[in-house]
Structure 1
Amino acid sequence: MTAIPNLGAILSPGADPDRTVLWDYAAGDPPRAWSAGELDGLASGLARGLLKRGLKRGDSIAVLAANRTEFVALYFGAMRAGIVVVPVNWKLAAETVALIVEDAEAKLIFVDEDRARLAPAGVPRILFGSADWEALPDPGAFEPITPEPDEPAQILYTSGSTGRPKGVPLSHRGQHWMVQVVSKGDNSQHRLIVAAPMYHMNALFNLKFAFLNRAQVILQPVFTAESYVKAIVDHQATWLTCVPTMMAMVANHLGDGPRPAEFDGVTRLFMGSSPYSQALVDRVRALFPNARITNGYGTTEAGAAVYGPHPDGIPTPDEALGYPIPEGETRLVARDGSVVDGVGEGILQMRNPATMRGYRHMPEKTAAALRDGGWYHSGDVVRRDENGFHYFVGREDDMFVCGGENIWPAEVERLLESHPAISQAVVVPVPDDVKQKLPVAFVTLREGESLSEEAVKQWTIERGPAYQHPRHVFFVPAIPLAGTNKIDRNGLTRQAAELAAARNSSRT
């Protein structure tokens, strides 16, 4: 039986330990450059230090911090020792953070100065940069443990925006498969920016991808459009990964001014975690004319290796998720549970080595998410076209009924964003006594543009079903994001109900 690779060993000095593998902007600007040997040595020292402190294989540690080299080294070092890493979303309330730390049974919490206040009492903590942190590494070589088939390497928690966060244990075997299966060809020449938070699959996946492929990482503590653009220019980045909102913010930041010449060097651009419109693709393509733009679909529960290019070389349409990769399994399921064959629409289910075995301490949630035979029920409604490409339609729980008609917010958002003056749009429902629910839109405009609410409504009425048009349009300077840099739909839904109620009462 082939030994299961340790996920922490993906970070390796290789044949050239002096090569730069990471630039850390948490250390300031200019950033601190780290060689492969330095980073590997720190990771091994931390593996030894954690065991010397009394932690053992199978124990878990929580990390409550913005992106920084110490977080990266701790992440890979702990996994080498068989210690389970639990990156915690620091945008959650302290009470929710405490629930996560308790559920994960974390023996130790690592924090940075800005987020230390969120750490629950009663669990030992170490502050990055403190004397305790400096004393933790035990320098020396370390032989990574050989994981068992389903041994967890990390536990990621869902956002918890609609209830108690769900812990998703993810194995060494599954996560290594996920990174390896998408590593095609020689990628060592690439320079990737990691600006998504390290409590999110996006950032962790890209770190592992970069180190496995001997590429270089430009690590930013948090995302801002200004710092992101500067990093692309200063490091001549070639590979970008982001959520669509991040790229919309970059486009808005640059406005109508000239784009930096260094943008021509970007050859790969992945936008994922939420749907995007053709209008945004056109804006991004104008900024990065030499980049191959890919829709990076993935879930915490079933990984990020789901779609790829068409096996017959058919070009992937801009708004398609891609074509299912042969190494994994996908199927579309109708609401009655039957499998949808050929052209059609259904809820995406996935099964592959990266699929979780269940939520932590939540058997009922697990039973609802994992269907017969270990298929993960994503809740994402997907359409398959005649060439086998998949397209995101909407979340199963985002769809709402207006006067007997089904409304998918993503469809209305794409229509709104086709307007030349609109940068970004989010559609949410508000209660209505007659129609049950009505669509309401939050809209941001491109720099220098102006638009009336009536013009927005008319645009949708003329180009789509009348029942889809937003009954209220609220113009905002920016779309708020939740903890994972995804759109905060729950917060906007609450805000829409308040604003619509206030507007309606003022009319009576």
Structure 2
Amino acid sequence: MCVVGPARTIPETLAAAVGSFTEHQAVADQNSPLTFGELHEQVRTFGAALVSTGIHVGDRVAIWAPNSPEWVVAALGVFQVGASLVPVNTRFKGAEAAGILRRAQVRLLVTTSGFLGNDYVTLLRGAGVELTALATTVTTDTSDTSDTSDTRTATVPWPEFLARATDATRGEADRRAAALTPDTVSDIIFTSGTTGQPKGVVHTHRSTLQAAQDWVAMTGLATGDRYLMVNPFFHMFGLKSGVLAALVAGATMLPEPVFDVGQVLRRVVEEKVTVLPGPPTLYQAILDHPERDRYDLSSLRLAVTGAADIPVTLIQRVLEELPFTDVLAGYGLTEGGTATGTSLTDDARTIATTVGRRRPGVELHIVDGDGRVLPGGQPGEIQLRSATVMSHYLDDPAATAEVLSADGWLRTGDLGTIDDAGLLRIVGRAKDMFIVGGFNTYPAEIENILLGHPDIEQAAVIGVPDGRLGEVGMAFVVLCPGAVTTPGELVTWSRERMANYKVPRYVQVIDALPLNATGKVVKQHLREQAATTPIAPNHEEKKT
């Protein structure tokens, strides 16, 4: 295995990759294939265009777009000039995205006017959120989508933006890249908090690079691997275990904008894909595809999964029916990187029912409610400390102090046990978070949105099992006196205001929520009710 390094910053990692893999293919794409040498030049051009546009060291630049070569170029270009990358979830609606851009004081946005039927530029303009810091919007579309009726933000198509680069600004971008330190902020990834307010997780070049390097060490990702990237780049996994891991290892990136099992199977055949990570639902969809046997999948080598409870039978089927020789599972979080992973010698039951052992350089223990370390086998909160732990939450010292101790221990909020073999099992999710098709989903955030409906007086959301997505949301609502809104209407209303994976698949109107003596909703009662009462979806099923 050939791995670049050691490098202290992301631009140094890119430069080292160019030195080691200049003519190797960095990005495989029908329209924009790039060698590592060509990728470096495009990154320098994008960085120079940022300088020409007035982006300074420490400014925030957001990307709200699907996986693509342009996403890779833009992200690396942001790092090149010392700015901070703010990825935005492509499933967000206009108000959700605008809230992130406003809180991060984003000065430049890279987006698209067409993805899954969404025109993100129009969605932002209709969100009703004042974005005083945002001066420039770059669209990856080739046509000019400028709207002269909105003079607050200049909208520039990708080719025109790149044309702003000059020899002078290329030189300035190179000087900035050389001046970066490992403690320079690299990215701010927003992850929904259980209070319903998204938190901006701030990472440095040091912690971000360490996460990428460790994922390469854990998986054996290597030069010559062809990595089909279904995991979205806006997520920690897609960015750090995807784009940056490929940079470290010299692997070829194959960005895939949206998961479609037929398209994935075709690309595996056509591109001789060797690496295909994803949530358990990805492998289930491949196994269940009625024409799977028509595709030559023999190139597949490495599968990496996690993020949800995994049936043992699924891992057994992956090992028996698909050609993967290496199958791994792991546990990580945006605030702390990948903390644990299984090994290549583990059996199907270990891969499915545990998340493996702590990674080198990671300290991990289980504590009780008073912070006392518990002996092996006893459930408690997972705490960890490593070089991949975040710096802080953006503009939120109180929230930072709640989860990050002065000596660097991160309270994950997840519950687990560690057995005598050092294997970590996740036994619960603190704060009632559930996972929809690989997306962390937080009830409080959905509840806060539902309470914006004029007919809803109270709302509580739980996760319930789903055969395709693992879990989906179920909302229990108490309507205002005299209101006659139906569950189906509430689902339709929700689809217009939140990302699809957050939308409750089921809604039940009830007279009152179960409360304890302190007035808190007893969600366990709702779970018991959901488990014993037949429920039917209140909508036509759509892709998440």
Asked if TM exceeds 0.5, the reply is yes
* CA distance, structure 2, for counterparts of residue 84 and residue 315 of structure 1: 41
* CA distance, structure 1, for counterparts of residue 322 and residue 58 of structure 2: 44
Out of 260, 271, 281, the residue aligned to residue 235 of structure 1 is: 271
Specify the alignment match of 1:251 in structure 2.
287
Out of 185, 189, 200, the residue aligned to residue 152 of structure 1 is: 185
* CA distance, structure 1, for counterparts of residue 45 and residue 310 of structure 2: 43
Percent identity between the aligned chains? Answer: 24
Specify the alignment match of 1:495 in structure 2.
507
Specify the alignment match of 2:250 in structure 1.
214
Contact residue 89 and residue 159 of structure 1 kept, 8 A:
no
Shift of 1:380: 1.5
Counterpart AA for 2:246? A
In 2 relative to 1, CA 208–149 (structure 1 residues): closer, same or farther, beyond 3 Å? closer
* CA distance, structure 2, for counterparts of residue 149 and residue 17 of structure 1: 24
Counterpart AA for 2:328? T
1:185-228 deviations in Å (ceiling 9; x for gaps):
67112111112221111110211111111111111122211111
TM-score with structure 1 length normalisation? 0.75
* CA distance, structure 1, for counterparts of residue 424 and residue 412 of structure 2: 14
* CA distance, structure 1, for counterparts of residue 535 and residue 88 of structure 2: 40
Out of 406, 422, 425, the residue aligned to residue 388 of structure 1 is: 422
In 2 relative to 1, CA 441–242 (structure 1 residues): closer, same or farther, beyond 3 Å? closer
Contact residue 42 and residue 137 of structure 1 kept, 8 A:
no
1:390-445 deviations in Å (ceiling 9; x for gaps):
1222212339xxxxxxxxx99xx9xxxxxxxxxxxx9x9xxxxxxx9999544459
* CA distance, structure 1, for counterparts of residue 74 and residue 363 of structure 2: 33
Q: Which runs of 5+ in 1 are unaligned?
A: 25-29, 400-408, 414-425, 429-435, 446-480
**Which region of structure 1 is more displaced relative to structure 2, 147-156 or 117-126?**
117-126
1:350-400 deviations in Å (ceiling 9; x for gaps):
11111112211222222222235221111221121221111222212339x
In 2 relative to 1, CA 136–298 (structure 1 residues): closer, same or farther, beyond 3 Å? farther
Asked whether 1:309 is paired with 2:312, we answer: no
* CA distance, structure 2, for counterparts of residue 387 and residue 150 of structure 1: 35
Counterpart AA for 1:71? W
Asked whether 1:18 is paired with 2:23, we answer: yes
Shift of 1:294: 0.8
In 2 relative to 1, CA 298–496 (structure 1 residues): closer, same or farther, beyond 3 Å? farther
* CA distance, structure 1, for counterparts of residue 322 and residue 51 of structure 2: 46
Contact residue 215 and residue 338 of structure 2 kept, 8 A:
no
* CA distance, structure 2, for counterparts of residue 219 and residue 38 of structure 1: 17
* CA distance, structure 2, for counterparts of residue 76 and residue 308 of structure 1: 30
* CA distance, structure 2, for counterparts of residue 154 and residue 376 of structure 1: 18
Counterpart AA for 1:9? E
Specify the alignment match of 1:37 in structure 2.
37
Specify the alignment match of 1:125 in structure 2.
137
* CA distance, structure 1, for counterparts of residue 104 and residue 257 of structure 2: 25
Contact residue 333 and residue 349 of structure 1 kept, 8 A:
yes
Specify the alignment match of 2:540 in structure 1.
none
Counterpart AA for 1:7? I
Shift of 1:158: 0.8
Out of 330, 339, 342, the residue aligned to residue 364 of structure 2 is: 330
Name the SS for the 2:257 alignment partner: coil
For residues 85-96 of structure 1, the aligned pairs below 5 Å read 85-96=85-96
Contact residue 154 and residue 169 of structure 1 kept, 8 A:
yes
Out of 163, 171, 174, the residue aligned to residue 196 of structure 2 is: 163
Counterpart AA for 2:8? P
In 2 relative to 1, CA 321–151 (structure 1 residues): closer, same or farther, beyond 3 Å? same
Counterpart AA for 1:201? M
* CA distance, structure 1, for counterparts of residue 498 and residue 72 of structure 2: 18
Shift of 1:133: 2.4
* CA distance, structure 1, for counterparts of residue 385 and residue 308 of structure 2: 21
In 2 relative to 1, CA 138–329 (structure 1 residues): closer, same or farther, beyond 3 Å? farther
Contact residue 56 and residue 83 of structure 2 kept, 8 A:
yes
In 2 relative to 1, CA 138–344 (structure 1 residues): closer, same or farther, beyond 3 Å? farther
Counterpart AA for 1:150? D
* CA distance, structure 2, for counterparts of residue 163 and residue 438 of structure 1: 14
In 2 relative to 1, CA 191–99 (structure 1 residues): closer, same or farther, beyond 3 Å? same
Name the SS for the 1:240 alignment partner: coil
**Which region of structure 1 is more displaced relative to structure 2, 80-89 or 30-39?**
30-39
In 2 relative to 1, CA 66–110 (structure 1 residues): closer, same or farther, beyond 3 Å? same
* CA distance, structure 2, for counterparts of residue 98 and residue 240 of structure 1: 32
* CA distance, structure 1, for counterparts of residue 84 and residue 105 of structure 2: 10
Aligned length: 427
Q: Which runs of 5+ in 2 are unaligned?
A: 115-119, 126-130, 143-156, 444-459, 470-494, 511-528, 537-544
Specify the alignment match of 2:84 in structure 1.
84
In 2 relative to 1, CA 95–305 (structure 1 residues): closer, same or farther, beyond 3 Å? same
Specify the alignment match of 2:102 in structure 1.
102
Shift of 1:104: 1.0
